[in-house]
Amino acid sequence: MTWEPELEELRQRQALAREMGGPDKIARQRAAGRLTVRERIGALLDAGSFREIGSITGNGAYDESGALQSMTPTNFLFGRGRIEGRRVVVAGDDFTVRGGASDASIIEKLVAAEQMAHELRLPMIRLIEGSGGGGIREVA
86 pLDDT higher than 80: yes
Instruction: Determine the pLDDT at residue 136.
Output: 47
How long a stretch of residues is the chain? 140
Instruction: Determine the pLDDT at residue 99.
Output: 60
Sorted by where each begins, the domain ranges of the chain are 4-127
- Average pLDDT over the chain reads 86
1 pLDDT higher than 90: no
Tell me the pLDDT tens digit for each residue of 96-117.
886 655 665 678 888 999 999 9
Instruction: Determine the pLDDT at residue 48.
Output: 95
Instruction: Determine the pLDDT at residue 90.
Output: 97
Tell me the pLDDT tens digit for each residue of 22-42.
899 999 989 999 999 999 999
Residue 73: beta bridge partners? 58
Give long-range contacts, CB 8 A cutoff, 24+ apart: 48-52. 49/81, 49/82, 50/79, 50/80, 50/81, 50/90, 51/79, 51/80, 51/81, 52/77, 52/78, 52/79
Q: What is the pTM of this model?
A: 0.81
* Homologous superfamily of 4-127: 2-enoyl-CoA Hydratase; Chain A, domain 1 (3.90.226.10)
Segment 74-101 shows an average pLDDT of: 88
Instruction: Determine the pLDDT at residue 104.
Output: 56
Instruction: Determine the pLDDT at residue 138.
Output: 47
Instruction: Determine the pLDDT at residue 135.
Output: 46
Tell me the pLDDT tens digit for each residue of 121-138.
999 999 988 665 544 444
